[in-house]
Amino acid sequence: MISNGSGKEPIVIDGSYGEGGGQILRTSVTLSAVMGMPIEIVNIRAKRDNPGLRPQHVGAIKAISSLCNASVENLRVGSDRIVFSPNRLRSTFIRLDVGSAGSVTLLLQAIIPSVSLSRVEAELEIIGGTDVKWSPTMNYFTHVVLPAYRLLGIEANLLVKRRGYYPVGGGIVRVGIKPARELNPLNIVSLEKLLPSIISICSRLPRGVAERQMKAAKDYLSNRGINPKSFEINIDDSISPGSSILVYSVGDKGPFIGSGTIGERGKPSEEVGREAAKIFSEEYNSNAPMDRHVGDMLVPFLPFAKGESIFRVSKVTQHLSTNLHIASIFTKCQYSIDEAPDGTAIVSVKNP
């Protein structure tokens, strides 16, 4: 599925396209590594207040480059252009430090496709932030994203040895990734309603924090006729204090719906729980089988599936549109987005 990109002219990617943030970088580097295609990314985050690469982006690109022994030009904080030239991925064990509270789950969005689609096996230990702002919580990734991956034929397992919260980070996650032998197309348009479950966690905080998050989420849902089927409270190890909560509804063949929020200094635990429940209820009541975030995380796999993929999401995000665009550049796949009056959308991805 991959070949050595040595000697090929790089594909030029406009880093300001669509959402113009870290997502376009991660997806481009991922598909570059999978397909052995060198890339040049220009105008990196050009529309942002702090344009160019930030430390977390540099860390993610270094991580992928270490897996495929890539050469990377101009990789530094503030850079608005890089050239990434991958070599073949090989089965390996590697230890990665994302740096302070850099998001582990955002890195996993790049690493798992890079390894599995390259048909190799890897074990990794990643150090960084497991539950931080602007990224999926570790529980969301474990309980929502990984089951969706498995439906496609992607096998990865996670073991959280220690949580990591902003600003200290220091979380430790062990990751095992199996090679993808053959990918199943995604066909999930209708919704089988499944009652949600709730997991509330805290670290280096009184147990009452997790309990109040849980009660607020449960009460919010119950008042709207959604009665959760299971509840779990965990007190986890970490270097610094923090908390998070996940409300999710997931089955083996769908739905894949979840909402994870994190605690913050000065933010009442009850507000954290209600926020997660509110977002979940909006997703749940959209009657789409996939929430607005999990859909875009599946896109890098779909051009490699045997046949056309069709799925319905609760809302089209810029991340979804951007990932589809980047996937089409690398693989020449065809895609369409058919938005309905209720805000949901049916997305199709067809191999060339």
- For residues 43-75, one letter each, b for 16 or more C-beta atoms within 10 angstroms of the residue's C-beta and e for the rest, the string is bbbeeeeebbbbebbbbbbbbbbebbebebeeb
Number of H helices, E strands in the chain: 9, 16
- Going 112 to 118 to 121 to 127, the CA torsion angle's sign is negative
Burial classification of residue 346, based on how many CB atoms lie within 10 Å of its CB (0-12 exposed, 13-18 middle, 19 or more buried) = middle
Of 245, 248, 212, nearest to 229 (Cα)?
248
Backbone angles phi, psi at 342, to 5 degrees: -80, 0
319 catalytic? Reply is: yes
CA distance 181 to 336: 27
Q: Could you tell me if 331 and 352 are in contact, meaning their C-beta atoms sit under 8 angstroms apart?
A: yes
Q: Could you tell me if 185 and 308 are in contact, meaning their C-beta atoms sit under 8 angstroms apart?
A: yes
Terminal CA-CA length for the chain: 15
Catalytic residue among 57, 143, 319, 325: 319
Of 105, 108, 126, nearest to 116 (Cα)?
108
CA distance 274 to 171: 26
3-state secondary structure of 157: strand
CA distance 335 to 315: 16
Burial classification of residue 268, based on how many CB atoms lie within 10 Å of its CB (0-12 exposed, 13-18 middle, 19 or more buried) = middle
3-state secondary structure of 306: coil
Residues recognised as catalytic: 319
